[in-house]
Amino acid sequence: MSVQLDSLIALALAAGREINAVREAGFEAQTKLDGSLVTIADQRAEAIIEQGLRELAPNVPMIGEEAVAEGRIPECGDRWFCVDPLDGTKGFAKGGDEFTVNIALIENGLPTLGVVYAPASGEMFAGEPNAARTARCDPHTAEIVKPFAPMVANTAATRPWRIIASENSGRDVKTAGFIGALEGVPAHASSSIKFCRIAEGAADLYPRFGEVSEWDAAAGHAILNAAGGGIMRLDGAPLIYGDRAGGFLIRGFVAYANDAAREAALAALT
């Protein structure tokens, strides 16, 4: 069964509406067994996405952050959905705006379709093979108010390198050393917005040292691929998804805008 990117966009918008509704009504954060935070917004958004994907592609399993936390982990196979219903829960719980809905389709270990939607700002990013695009939505209604336009990552060997990283982990010693080795200009952002800043040409590199879950990266990875960039592991190997035995964890990566940025990153990592 063919999965259309527009269908994933519609699901992300529906989840975003629910997240904003919970935010306006008020909520309390809880702590999961792994120590991470969860809110009713995470749970309701994932329920909307899971039901929508089941109707859209009933034979394609979904690996979702909250489903995994509940112990619902289907066999992936060659084709599956990778979902983070609310990426950036910690910032969301504190009242911040840089949280996203992430939906990706994984095929043979690689993300081929991806949607990242930021409900608070209305920013929408989407990608399919060789075509990335961005739009602006009304945060209150999730209706598209600025139509989709093509999006392309920077193709030049920019100097100094513009390096974006997480608000918290992006300030650690390894990240600081990476930025220093490249004599880069640092910037900070939260959630999957970092991938999208590279995809839209506003940054060149995003290093991440330490573990993250596959659902934190898959949608942004698909969009960045579509915009002409990519992601590699810290040793330069391709990032392949579906590591069930490893708990769907990624042990570090660098996202890059172009080949020159990739080579510069590899030099800084050695």
Does pLDDT of 2 surpass 60? yes
> Which residue range forms the structural domain that includes residue 262?
162-269
Domain termination residue (choose one: 119, 150, 181): 150
Does pLDDT of 103 surpass 80? yes
**Do residues 14 and 48 make contact, with C-beta atoms less than 8 angstroms apart?**
yes
Q: In this predicted structure, what is the pLDDT of residue 38? A: 65
What's the average model confidence in pLDDT over 88-111?
89
Q: In this predicted structure, what is the pLDDT of residue 211? A: 93
Q: Are residues 117 and 34 in the same domain?
A: yes
Q: Are residues 121 and 213 in the same domain?
A: no
Q: Are residues 229 and 125 in the same domain?
A: no
Of the pLDDT bands very low, low, confident and very high (cuts 50, 70, 90), residue 95 is confident
Residue 99 belongs to a domain with what CATH number?
3.30.540.10
Q: In this predicted structure, what is the pLDDT of residue 12? A: 98
Of the pLDDT bands very low, low, confident and very high (cuts 50, 70, 90), residue 24 is confident
Residue 157 domain flag: no
Tens digit of each residue's pLDDT (9 = 90 or more) over 39-76? 778 899 999 999 999 999 999 999 999 899 889 999 98
Q: Are residues 255 and 186 in the same domain?
A: yes
d(CA 234, CA 265): 9
Look at the block and give the residue holding tokens 């997240």.
19
Q: In this predicted structure, what is the pLDDT of residue 28? A: 64
Tens digit of each residue's pLDDT (9 = 90 or more) over 156-202? 998 899 999 987 765 789 999 999 999 999 999 888 999 999 999 99
Domain termination residue (choose one: 87, 120, 150): 150
Does pLDDT of 22 surpass 80? yes
Q: Are residues 139 and 186 in the same domain?
A: no
Q: Are residues 175 and 210 in the same domain?
A: yes
d(CA 30, CA 176): 32
Q: Are residues 122 and 173 in the same domain?
A: no
* β-bridge pairing 185-188 and 162-165: parallel
Number of domains in the chain: 2
Q: Are residues 53 and 142 in the same domain?
A: yes
pTM of the complete model: 0.94
Closest by CA to 230, choosing from 114, 74, 142, is 114
Residue 241 domain flag: yes
Tens digit of each residue's pLDDT (9 = 90 or more) over 193-233? 999 999 999 999 999 998 999 999 999 999 999 999 999 99
What radius of gyration do the chain's Cα atoms show? 17
Domain termination residue (choose one: 114, 130, 150): 150
